[in-house]
Structure 1
Amino acid sequence: MLQFIKDLEPHVVGIHAIGEVTKEDMERVLLPRIDELVARQGEINYLLVLETDVSNWTAGAWWDDIKMGLKNFTKWNKIAVVSDQKGVQWFTNAFTYFVPGKSKGFALNQLDEAIAFVTAKEEESVEAK
């Protein structure tokens, strides 16, 4: 199941994944939020809190995820994936080399850091260095 995360900055879409994730979840929860964000600001800042195993995503959910990624390939600005699955964290970190934006994996106990990463605007990130 996908649930929209409220109380994030308006330039960020946050999704919490638990249990089984289906094509219907993607079409009802994630895809409309991403489309709305792109229409409003032209780029995507995305937080995924993954509290389910990736094997719990149905084939239809994976297919929709791939299509969303390709459709918006040039729109990705920041991606933060929060999961205690080391493979997911590694893949998210490596993903930064394949998309125009920045991508970073975090452990579940680093949720606050993930939110700070994905919500920070570039001028804030530069000033913080």
Structure 2
Amino acid sequence: MIEIIEGFPENVVGILAKGEVTRKDYLEVVIPAIEKSLKRNAKLRLYYELGSQFTGIDFGAEWEDFKLGIEHLSRWERMAVVTDVAWIRHLVGAFRFLMPGELRVFTAAQISEARKWIVAL
């Protein structure tokens, strides 16, 4: 399940993942939020928090995430991923070179730092 985190500036989409993240979550929540932000902003920042209740992501969600990233490749300015899930941290690190903008991975203990970084000029 994915929820939008409110309170960020309009050029930042905040996402909180809980439980199992599915393709439906991407189609109904993530993609509409990103498309809405891209209509108003030339560049986009993404704050993606995978909390303690996160249990995994299905292949359909992974595929939608990949397509979304490629489709808007030149418009990603900055992304913060907050997680203590080791395989997510390693996966993000391994594919960091594909991200044209800045990408940082934070631990759950660094949530405050991650939120400050994603909105910083």
RMSD: 1.5
- Please give the TM-score of this superposition, normalised by the length of structure 2: 0.89
* 1:24-35 paired onto structure 2 within 5 Å: 24-35=24-35
1:95 Cα deviation from its structure 2 partner: 4.2
* 1:43-82 paired onto structure 2 within 5 Å: 43-51=43-51, 52-53=54-55, 56-82=56-82
1:44 Cα deviation from its structure 2 partner: 1.3
Instruction: String of CA shifts for 1:84-127, please: whole Å, max 9, x gaps.
Output: 02342344345443222100000011011111111112xxxxxx
Larger RCO (CA under 8 A, 6+ residues apart)? 2
* 1:1-129 paired onto structure 2 within 5 Å: 1-51=1-51, 52-53=54-55, 56-93=56-93, 95-121=95-121
Give the helix-richer structure, 1 or 2.
1
Identity percentage over the alignment? 31
Give the strand-richer structure, 1 or 2.
2
Unaligned runs of 5+ residues in structure 2 are none
- Please give the TM-score of this superposition, normalised by the length of structure 1: 0.84
Unaligned runs of 5+ residues in structure 1 are 122-129
